[in-house]
């Protein structure tokens, strides 16, 4: 099992903060956001941790990276030439079962428990899902529908009329032979961004299960979400809350 943190986007909705600091290195609760994800991965049996970023911020991530994280530079320099998350999975090319996590995706649940669930499903893949209980909010995410066994039977990115409020949370486990299908998916001309697009394609061809987790989840996409996550993690760390976000931890 290999773990891959996806951190090659340009976070345009968080500018000007992200003009000079990659979103995943912005402090949340007094630590770089990505540190919380690495902590979660270290609790699993993944034998390697990788992070893929763009050329613009590769040196920043290399300065940050602890000894057990391998940083990959995908060579892109702007939002216009980015490879996309699925393109970055292919770029890194880890030929193993793959735990793939968006680097701006914070959560309370145990990845060890998630992998335990996935291993009960045989040769399958899985996506962590959260019931947002709000159809308007669900329009912003990839929405899944499942059968009685929890197998995904439909996956739609940002639907105008969500069939459910069960949303994908950008944490995926791909069986090795399923991860290898990324090349086929891209060769067919499918969208290279948003891993949910690959899940939507894959679930029609192979078993993919939804892991519905307990606890909280934060998708940090804009300034309000960043401030909310920062203050929640600051409370947990015993730090004072802030009325406005600052990159100073």
pLDDT tens, position by position, 12-44: 888 888 888 999 999 999 999 999 999 999 999
Residue 15 in domain: yes
91: exposed, middle or buried (Cβ count in 10 Å: 0-12, 13-18, 19+): middle
Query: Phi, psi (5° rounding) for residue 168?
Result: -70, 145
Residue 143 in domain: yes
CA distance 132 to 69: 32
Residue 21 in domain: yes
Residue 241 in domain: no
Q: Which domain holds residue 11?
A: 2-236
Average pLDDT over residues 140-145: 88
Helices (H) then strands (E): counts for the chain: 10, 13
Q: How many CB atoms lie within 10 A of CB 108?
A: 11
The number of angstroms, rounded, from the C-alpha of 27 to the middle of its chain's C-alpha atoms is 17
Q: What is the CATH number of the domain that holds 35?
A: 3.90.550.10
The tens digit of pLDDT for each residue in 178-229 reads 999 999 999 999 999 888 889 999 999 999 999 998 788 888 878 888 998 9
CA distance 73 to 53: 5
| Structure-token match 């891993």, residue found | 195
Helix (H) or strand (E) holding 60: helix 58-64
Residue 242 in domain: no
Residue 247 in domain: no
**195-202 helix and 85-92 helix, angle to the nearest 10 degrees:** 80
Tokens in use for 41?
Answer: 């991965």
Average pLDDT over residues 70-91: 92
pTM of the predicted model, to two decimals?
0.93
Residue 246 in domain: no
The CA-CA-CA angle for residues 29, 35, 38, to 5°, reads: 140
**How many domains does one find in the chain?**
1
Residue 66 in domain: yes
């Amino acid at each position: 099992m290999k773990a891959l943190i996806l951190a090659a986007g340009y976070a345009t909705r968080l500018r000007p903060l992200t003009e000079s600091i990659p979103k995943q290195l912005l402090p949340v609760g007094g630590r770089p956001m990505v540190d919380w994800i690495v902590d979660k991965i270290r609790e699993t049996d993944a034998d390697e941790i990788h992070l893929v970023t763009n050329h613009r911020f590769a040196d920043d991530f290399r300065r940050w990276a602890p000894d057990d994280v391998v940083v990959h530079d995908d060579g892109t320099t702007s939002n216009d030439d980015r490879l996309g998350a699925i393109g970055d999975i292919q770029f890194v090319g880890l030929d193993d079962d793959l735990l793939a996590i968006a680097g701006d995706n914070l959560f309370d649940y145990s990845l060890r428990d998630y992998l335990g669930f996935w291993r009960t499903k045989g040769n399958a893949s899985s996506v962590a899902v959260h019931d947002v209980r709000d159809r308007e909010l669900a329009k912003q995410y990839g929405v899944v529908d499942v059968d009685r066994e929890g197998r995904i039977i439909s996956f739609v990115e940002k639907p105008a009329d969500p069939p459910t409020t069960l949303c994908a949370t950008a944490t995926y486990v791909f069986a090795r032979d399923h991860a290898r299908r990324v090349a086929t998916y891209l060769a067919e001309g499918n969208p290279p961004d948003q891993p949910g697009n690959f899940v939507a394609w894959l679930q029609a061809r192979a078993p993919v299960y939804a892991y519905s987790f307990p606890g909280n989840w934060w998708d940090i996409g804009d300034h309000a979400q960043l401030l909310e996550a920062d203050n929640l993690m600051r409370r947990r760390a015993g730090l004072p809350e802030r009325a406005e976000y600052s990159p100073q931890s």
